Every structure is written in structure tokens, then in C-alpha cells.
């Protein structure tokens, strides 16, 4: 994406990161409401206002650090939308559906950012001022692909872990649930050792190439 200073990187990545993280959480709350749980709506979390969802560490500090350190991967998180499974007819199945809504929202946003980048590429020769939208569209595809793949890791408390426990027999699901207190510690260890990057990047690159082939933006 070229060489940018920190301010330029924040301008390019800021909107895609905020939308990716915010709408990911809103998707969880919206689907939960459709399945009978109004908790997120009652607490004012079904809004695209990022101030309602921002987690100072996960939404600001972690993404900025990953940008500054040029780690090659970018992700973050917002304050989790509160869900009350007791309001669901089938708590395990419905919780899995709520969980998968987040990654699906990131896929949808990735497609939207890809369309924005494609349109900006077409307009750029005539309207040079749209060039920042190309970089922002690329950033949008990358961050949403990264969040989608990252959250589908089958490890609680990530969305993939919720989906896995919803699909497994109850006894096996209970074993997976016991891992949850150590979930983020495991993720951090995988990140520090480079394993997370090795595991996630092929899938992220594949999604990126599907949405924005290199020939389109070269």
C-alpha cells in the first residue's frame, strides 16, 4: 500500500477498522434480537455509533501498535455486545448463529470496500482526488478479511469457539468451554510465536485476492 507516515496510516485505516469492529458487534446484537434476546437493544448497543462499542485497548491501542510495528496482520476488538442465551428457544444452536453473524458481517463489509476500491480505480484517471479511497478500500478488505478469519478460529471466547460448541455434542462442548478462561492467553502466545500469522495469512490472502485481484490495483 505504499509508504505512509503514522497520521496517513490512521486516516486510511481508521474508518475501515472502526466500521469493521463496530458492525461486527452490531451484527451479533441484531441477530440475537431476531432470535428473541433484546438485551443488546435495551442497553443501546444496536447502533453504528462507534463510541458505544469502542474498547480503548482492542479498538485503539492494539490496531495502532500493529500498524506501527508492521506486523503484517491487523486486528482488534470492541466491547462485546451483551447476550442473554436464556432468552433463546435453543440456547446452544441460537448462540452459534449469533456468533457466526459477526464474521459474516465482516465478509459483507469486505465486499463493500472492494466495490469502493474498484470504483475509485476506475475514477482515478479522471478524478485524482479519489486516490485515497483506493487505499481505504484496500484497507477495508484487509481488515475485514483478517477479522473474519481471526474470529473463526475454533477457540472460545472467539466466534469460532461459540460456533464449535453449538455444533458439538454437549459433553464435547463442555470440554471446549473449559478452555475459555485461557483462550486469549493462547491467542497471545500464538501471536508472539508467529504461529498465528502463519496459520491465518493464507486464508486472509485468499479472500483478499478473491475480492481485489492484484491486476486490478497494480
The set of catalytic residues is 25
Q: CA dihedral defined by 111, 10, 75, 71, rounded to 10 degrees? A: 120
Spatial neighbors of 102 by CB under 8 A, at least 6 apart, are 24, 25, 27, 28, 151, 159
Question: Distance between CA atoms of 93 and 190, rounded to whole angstroms?
Answer: 29
| In contact, 5 and 67? CB cutoff 8 Å | no
| 44 Cβ neighbours under 8 A, 6+ residues apart | 52
Q: Is there a contact between 208 and 145 (Cβ–Cβ < 8 Å)?
A: yes
DSSP character at residue 125: T
Amino acid at each position: 500500500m505504499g509508504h505512509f507516515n503514522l497520521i496517513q496510516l490512521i486516516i486510511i485505516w481508521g474508518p475501515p477498522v472502526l466500521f469493521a469492529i463496530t458492525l461486527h458487534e452490531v451484527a451479533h446484537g441484531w441477530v440475537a434480537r431476531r432470535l428473541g434476546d433484546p438485551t443488546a437493544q435495551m442497553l443501546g448497543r444496536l447502533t453504528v455509533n462507534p463510541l458505544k462499542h469502542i474498547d480503548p485497548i482492542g479498538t485503539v491501542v492494539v490496531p495502532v501498535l500493529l500498524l506501527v510495528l508492521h506486523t503484517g496482520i491487523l486486528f482488534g476488538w470492541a466491547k462485546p455486545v451483551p447476550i442473554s442465551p436464556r432468552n433463546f428457544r435453543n440456547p446452544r444452536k441460537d448462540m452459534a448463529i449469533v456468533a457466526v453473524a459477526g464474521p459474516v458481517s465482516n465478509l459483507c463489509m469486505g465486499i463493500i470496500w472492494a466495490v469502493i476500491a474498484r470504483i475509485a480505480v476506475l475514477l482515478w484517471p479522471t478524478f485524482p482526488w479519489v486516490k485515497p479511497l483506493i487505499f481505504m478500500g484496500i484497507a477495508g478488505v484487509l481488515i475485514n478479511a483478517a477479522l473474519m478469519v481471526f474470529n473463526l478460529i475454533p477457540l472460545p471466547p472467539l466466534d469460532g469457539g461459540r460456533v464449535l460448541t453449538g455444533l458439538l455434542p454437549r459433553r464435547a462442548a463442555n470440554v471446549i468451554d473449559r478452555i475459555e478462561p485461557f483462550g486469549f492467553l493462547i491467542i497471545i502466545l500464538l501471536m508472539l510465536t508467529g504461529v498465528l500469522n502463519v496459520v491465518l495469512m493464507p486464508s486472509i490472502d485468499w479472500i483478499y485476492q478473491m475480492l481485489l485481484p492484484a491486476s486490478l490495483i497494480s
